[in-house]
Structure 1
Amino acid sequence: MFLGTYTPKLDDKGRLTLPAKFRDALAGGLMVTKWQDHSLAVYPREEFAKVAKRAVAASRTNPEARAFVRNLGAGTDEQHPDAQGRITLSPAHRAYANLTKECVVIGSVDFLEIWDKAAWESYLAENEETYSQAIDESLGGIV
């Protein structure tokens, strides 16, 4: 599982060092994709294959599903961490997530998310109370 919050820096070459505790789980390859709320998602290759399989099962006659599948495919990049645990984020990914030097990597249980630090802080400020007050109806039985 991917849990916790980390604050690695993005270097001048667009490289981000993955948190050490996740490197073994991602050593076999990972997929970086554009994600919701202008963040990036980092999936282990096997987990991403499950997401992709569910995505392609959606009806392509549904415009939203079609757009999602297209964006998922076009917005995904396969990466292999280097010996220092770094991955290179493409210019398109950095632009999409508005990434600056200051980044936040959060565990999202079955994948990681990469956020610009200011964007993450803004998201938390807007949504932390919603999390605190969440009720079972809106969470579909999660809690």
Structure 2
Amino acid sequence: MPEYYFFGTYTPKLDDKFRLTLPAKFREDLAGGVMVSKGQDHSLAVYPRAVFIERAARIAEKSRSNPRARAYIRSLAAGADEQRPDAQGRITIGSAHREYAGLTKECVVVGSVNFLEVWDAQRWHEYSSAHEEDFSEAIDESLEGMV
């Protein structure tokens, strides 16, 4: 499976047809198709199709005996939207995903290493402001042994 890495912050807008233009630097990696799903903290997650399929398969293998894990995989699969970016690198954000993420016209796309996160610009500003200190504290606590 190919490896993809996504970094940076971008500020595209949703157009009148609810299309979001993906950052140009990632379009080649995403040209084979993407999966849009609910992300954490009311963001959307945009995965290269191959990455999402592999992740979902790993989760599904381990989840069938645990009721909470079964509920997670069902929600993940039911809420996933497979798309192929158009010639301009646009994907359409469906109404359920727009509602979940509270998307308005102004959006922020954030590289999250192996996938992209899509946020409403105001929600991103609020989230990143509220969690500014978490970055420096994470080195000592939650990322111990990884960094």
* Fold agreement, TM-score > 0.5: yes
Contact preservation (8 Å) 1:136, 1:142: no
Residue in structure 1 matched with residue 86 of structure 2 by the alignment: 82
List, as ranges, runs of 4+ consecutive aligned residues in structure 1 with deviation greater than 6 Å: none
* Aligned-partner SS, 2:104: coil
Residue in structure 2 matched with residue 100 of structure 1 by the alignment: 104
Aligned equivalents of 1:4 and 1:130: distance in 2?
A: 18
Aligned equivalents of 1:101 and 1:128: distance in 2?
A: 25
Pairs aligned (count): 143
1:69 maps to amino acid: I
Matches within 5 A, 1:34-113: 34-113=38-117
1:45 maps to amino acid: R
Q: CA RMSD in A?
A: 1.2
Contact preservation (8 Å) 2:63, 2:73: no
2:125 maps to amino acid: E
**TM-score of the two chains, using structure 2 as the length reference:** 0.92
Moved more, 13-22 or 131-140: 131-140
1:140 Cα offset (Å): 4.6
Change in 2 beyond 3 A, CA 1:140/1:50: farther
- The answer as to 2:131 corresponding to 1:127 is yes
The runs of 5 or more residues in structure 2 that have no matched partner are: none
Moved more, 59-68 or 18-27: 59-68
How many percent identity over aligned positions?
Answer: 66
Aligned equivalents of 1:99 and 1:141: distance in 2?
A: 36
The runs of 5 or more residues in structure 1 that have no matched partner are: none
Residue in structure 1 matched with residue 12 of structure 2 by the alignment: 8
Aligned equivalents of 1:121 and 1:89: distance in 2?
A: 21
- Per-residue displacement from partner, 1:43-65 (whole Å, max 9, x unpaired)? 00111112101210223332321
Moved more, 118-127 or 1-10: 118-127
1:99 maps to amino acid: L
